[in-house]
Amino acid sequence: MKKQSFLAWVVLGSSVAIAQQAPPPPDAAQQQPPPPVFKESVEVRAMDLDVSATDSKGQPVTDLTRQDFAVRVDGKPVPIDYFARVDLGSIHAPDLSTASPDRVLDVYKSNGEAFVPRHFLIYVDSGDLSPGVRNRALDQLKDFITRLGPTDTARVVLFDRRPKELTEWTSSKETLLSAVDLMEKGVGMSRLENQLQTLRTIDSTRSRQSRLMLAQTYADQEATEVETMVKDMRVQLATLTPLPGKKAFLFVSGSLPQQPGQAMFQYAAGTFGIASLSSLSNVRRVDVQIADLAKVANADEVTFYTIDAKGLTGDGATAAADDPLAFRPGVSFFARTNAQSGMLELASQTGGIALINNNDFKGGLARVYQDASSYYSVGVNLSNLPAGVYQKIDIAVSRPGVTVRYRRGYATKTDDERARDVARAALKTNVAYSSFPVKLQVGPSSKAKKQYEQPITVLMPPSALTFLPEGDQSKASAEIYVGVVDENGRTSDIGREEAVFTQPKQGSPDALAYPITLQMRKGNARVVVNVRDKVSGKMGTAKADIRVE
């Protein structure tokens, strides 16, 4: 793990270890309790396209059949292998027999139907929102939370200069509402204050060159913060990746510009045309990063729902303070369209909804919940798609007057990528996979040259892996993924080792053991291990919170 200098990990001893003794005694097991299990691991077998269909009046169309749809991947038609109508979060008979196996999990079947769990990552960017505008949106967000059903889960993250994770994945409405209450008490508006201050300074500066220098400084600061946020959104997206069902990223903000600071340059120069500014500004664009974020979301089958919390601005001093560039002559139109451009891109590319220029947040969020609850699940076998290549998706319906929304691209992930995703999700949240049990036995740390060495043994039952006969013994292979996050939130890369376990044909050990030594700094940290059986593809995770000293 070379990316972060605060830790590295190496495997000591042989690559195979078989524990012939019993598992750790009860007191040791109690010291390292197993992590809370969130969902069972599943093998991804299909590209599931969530398709929303509406008529000319914007009303849902609910009676389409498989024969009404046509799917193209990079312009080439592909067969529809799975098809089902998801209605209010459930798939009913007879669609159960034709639905994607990744949509119909045994754990969610009941009385001739299958529930499709919904997961909402609620990400609130308060940097460009005044307290009044922010709290108006948060009040309606509370109503959205009260709509969540018993199988729905959500997680809340606040961003202002840096991310703050307010909840784990939870189905507790009380926990989620408490997180929203906490956001209402915050200050936020870091980017908004910077914009107001820069405008005041530009207005009092006569020199055109000085005005442009002020705009350049502002643009650099704005771009840095937007880039930081987009990077964090990609990190947070990974916590949705391994979850089954409908995955939604609910982004609430006042702006996500693809050209941060460009409108300020127009205002400072007094030149209201993009072409005329090409020689005056050096604005860092973030459109590529936003487009890449949409591609990652599509590969992970995550839908973006974006909300411009500023809505429709009115008149007066208060409105001008809430959205100052939108009230400056000559730049108001570009300032608004640029601020909303990233939100529109994420929603349109992932098949979601962008709620902009609208003050009916309650109705808009109700529409988001409806969209995440009722849609067509159209599936294509991954065997019909090339691996690792991002490809354009096109879906058409034969019925006249029907409009469809869907993710515009897809890339098949490798087994290695998915296993790393699971480790990252477990590192950031309470997600854990339990296809088979895995435990971590933590030994005492010791001082090394510059860091500490922390020994950890990965334990699992022999039944966790698939043993194949080889001569007078049998062998099993597993991939072991390890990640660490320290108390300051610094996260290591996800390391990988391949372990081979052997056992005699007759009899088996009580437990399989694999030793790892982490090289770490002094302090608190969380260690996550994800073990993947190479034959079955099943995974099991374990995590431990440790104190290195």
Encode pLDDT of 325-338 as tens digits: 888 888 888 899 99
Instruction: State how far the alpha carbon of 372 is from the alpha carbons of 152, 250, 296, 303, 529, in Å.
Output: 11, 11, 19, 9, 32
- Domain ranges across the chain: 7-42+415-548, 46-88+374-410, 119-369
CA 19 centroid distance within chain? 38
Average pLDDT of the segment spanning 148-176:
93
Residue 104 is encoded by which pair of tokens? 């119909």
Average pLDDT of the segment spanning 238-243:
88
Q: Assign a CATH topology to domain 119-369.
A: Rossmann fold (3.40.50)
7-42+415-548 to CATH, choices 2.40.50.140, 2.60.40.3880, 2.60.40.60, 3.30.70.270: 2.60.40.3880
- pLDDT bin (cut points 50, 70, 90) of residue 127 is very high
Average pLDDT of the segment spanning 408-412:
91
pLDDT in tens, 363-392: 999 999 999 999 999 998 877 777 778 999
pLDDT at residue 509 tops 90: no
- pLDDT bin (cut points 50, 70, 90) of residue 319 is low
CB 445 within 8 A of CB 456: no
Mean pLDDT computed over every residue of the chain: 85
Same CATH topology for 7-42+415-548 and 119-369: the answer is: no
Residues 6+ apart with CB under 8 A from 549: 445, 452, 522, 523
pLDDT at residue 244 tops 90: no
pLDDT at residue 401 tops 60: yes
CA 381 centroid distance within chain? 23
pLDDT at 386: 74
pLDDT in tens, 24-81: 433 433 343 333 344 444 455 678 899 999 999 889 999 999 999 999 999 999 999 9
pLDDT at residue 496 tops 50: yes
pLDDT at 27: 42
CB 467 within 8 A of CB 476: yes
